[in-house]
Amino acid sequence: MKRFLKSLLAKYILIILIALFLLQAAYITIILVFFNFVEDTDSPEDGQHSFAEIEEKWHQEASKVVSEDDVIRLFEKWQVIYPKASMFWVNGDDVLEVQSNLQENLPEEWNAAFTAQFLKSQYDNDPFTVVAFAGESDEDGFIVFQLERDVMKPQGQRLFDQYSWAIITLTIGVVFIFIFLSLWFFRGIRKRLVHLQEAMEIRDTDGLPILIEEKKQDEIGDLEKSFNQMVQELRESREREQEEEQLRKELIANLSHDLRTPLTKINAQAYTLQKMNLPIEAKRSLKLTSTSIEDVDRLIENLMSYTLLMASKYKKELKEIDMARFIRQYLATWYPVFEREGYDVEVEIEPFEQNTWEIDPLWFSRILDNLLQNVLRHAADGKYIAVRTEATGHYDAIVIADKGRGMQVDTEQKGAGIGLSIVDMMVKGMDLDWDIDSTEKGTTIKIIRVKRAGD
């Protein structure tokens, strides 16, 4: 129950109850003011009667009239009771003789046609009209009593008709108060939700959302609490991830060291054995062993590089490099390797129009190392490699092509997958692009620099 009282639903129900209370209080105030302080000037004096009683009593009083003085006294008596009433007497000679508080102009002389027209127009109409013969016979004429029907309405109804504008005004006022309170209520909710949204979008130095202050114990407060709990769990997860990443890097580093130590020893023993006078078959086996050791060493190096790149720990220093000159110098170190393996090497390096590229020389050398090593592993049957430059209106590219069976064909040499992953991360890390096209007739790889405006 305590939690419900602090909820937004309970607060909004309270606003509705306040609005209903104000509305009822306004109506009660109107009733008290109308019936206790507002003077009803139109109401008749004590002794008022219903229309049926008025008609009956008027006929009784009219039958007692025998002279003009009796008519005057009768009019004065009824005028006290009904101040708003109009009365007149038409004598036996059809002449308007006595009148009291007439609201309209009537002719002095009445004929039968006018009398009939008057009676017809006033029958069951407003004002309420009663016509009675004076005295015991119709020779003394007739007397008429007229009274606005609104005067005889109940006091409450007449006051309502007169002051209904006040009720409407107060009702509208209460409605506006309710609207104002509702807007104020929802404005507070929106402000807190916007604050929570901003907290979700803002990132701390560690890249995670920041904690938000928990202000109230309601539904939004529960949301803020859940958000803070989520952020805390993310931080704990990030810490665990960093610890695991550190352990993984240490494991890989230790494993690489542990693997390289025996590999170095094995390679040294193989080198020693190769100097001895051994059978041809034994020397061939030693050569294959040395090659396998070199492959394992490269795989370990790739694994280390891949781990550092994934952790964004691989150092990168961009410099403006003359690419044509850089490629020529780099290929000079690889040319003897391909020549020893019997490859047909074609090199066509022409300077680009914009020959200066912003790259990391060590990264780019590592990219070329991986790609050329893949040619040695996968394109040995083609015995061909070509390195050339290519320029179009949209990009400049360095192209490496071979005539092997393609990367889709399984070979005895493994490890190309992680090597190409390293190439992908390094190329994109220097804001370059690359494209690979491998078929059974050969593989073509392009390292692309997209031309920018002004190049």
Do 429 and 440 have their domain in common? yes
In a domain, 44, yes or no: no
CATH number of residue 388's parent domain: 3.30.565.10
Of 167-176, 308-317, 412-421, least confident by mean pLDDT is: 412-421
Do 86 and 173 have their domain in common? no
In a domain, 33, yes or no: yes
How many domains is the chain built from? 4
Out of 99, 129, 152, a domain closes at 152
Q: Which helix (H) or strand (E) holds 145?
A: strand 142-147
What is the rounded CA–CA span in Å between residue 399 and residue 437?
Answer: 11
In percent, how much of the chain has pLDDT > 70?
A: 82
- Per-residue pLDDT, 386: 94
Residue-range definition of the domain harbouring residue 191: 2-38+155-196
What is the rounded CA–CA span in Å between residue 81 and residue 187?
Answer: 61
CATH number of residue 73's parent domain: 3.30.450
Beta-sheet strand order (sheet of 128-133): 96-100, 86-90, 142-147, 128-133
In a domain, 341, yes or no: yes
Do 357 and 240 have their domain in common? no
What is the rounded CA–CA span in Å between residue 244 and residue 257?
Answer: 20
Do 392 and 444 have their domain in common? yes
Do 11 and 58 have their domain in common? no
Per-residue pLDDT, averaged over 418-440, amounts to 88
Whole-number Cα distances in Å, 180 to 92, 115, 169, 220, 281: 71, 63, 16, 21, 98
DSSP of 268-335? HHHHHHHTS---HHHHHHHHHHHHHHHHHHHHHHHHHHHHHHHTT-S----EEEEHHHHHHHHHHHHH
In a domain, 371, yes or no: yes
Per-residue pLDDT, averaged over 117-124, amounts to 81
In a domain, 427, yes or no: yes
Q: How far apart are the first and last CA of the chain?
A: 72
Do 288 and 344 have their domain in common? no
In a domain, 215, yes or no: no
Do 31 and 61 have their domain in common? no
Do 325 and 412 have their domain in common? yes
5 or 170, greater pLDDT: 170
In a domain, 227, yes or no: no
Do 321 and 437 have their domain in common? yes
Out of 152, 176, 205, a domain closes at 152
pLDDT digits (tens, 9 = 90+) for 396-409: 999 999 998 877 65
Do 288 and 397 have their domain in common? no
In a domain, 445, yes or no: yes
- Per-residue pLDDT, 261: 67
The pTM is what? 0.44
Q: 290-305 b/e with 16+ CB inside 10 Å = b?
A: beebebbbbbbbbbbb
Phi, psi (rounded to 5 degrees) for 373:
-65, -35
Q: What residues form DSSP beta bridges with 386?
A: 346, 401
Helix-helix angle 8-36:219-274, to 10 degrees: 160
Sign of CA dihedral 281, 287, 288, 289: positive
Helix-helix angle 219-274:280-310, to 10 degrees: 160
Of 50-59, 308-317, 380-389, least confident by mean pLDDT is: 308-317
What is the rounded CA–CA span in Å between residue 224 and residue 46?
Answer: 71
- Per-residue pLDDT, 199: 77
Out of 308, 334, 363, a domain closes at 308
pLDDT digits (tens, 9 = 90+) for 332-354: 988 888 888 899 999 999 999 88
Do 140 and 185 have their domain in common? no
SS3 sequence of 150-219: HHHCCHHHHHHHHHHHHHHHHHHHHHHHHHHHHHHHHHHHHHHHHHHHHHHHCECCCCCECCCCCCCCCH
Residue 118 scores a pLDDT above 50:
yes
- Per-residue pLDDT, 133: 86
- Per-residue pLDDT, 414: 45
Do 324 and 432 have their domain in common? yes
CATH number of residue 267's parent domain: 1.10.287
300 or 53, greater pLDDT: 53
- Per-residue pLDDT, 385: 93
CB-hemisphere CA count at 13 Å for 184?
A: 8
Please, are residues 97 and 72 in contact by the beta-carbon 8 Å criterion? no
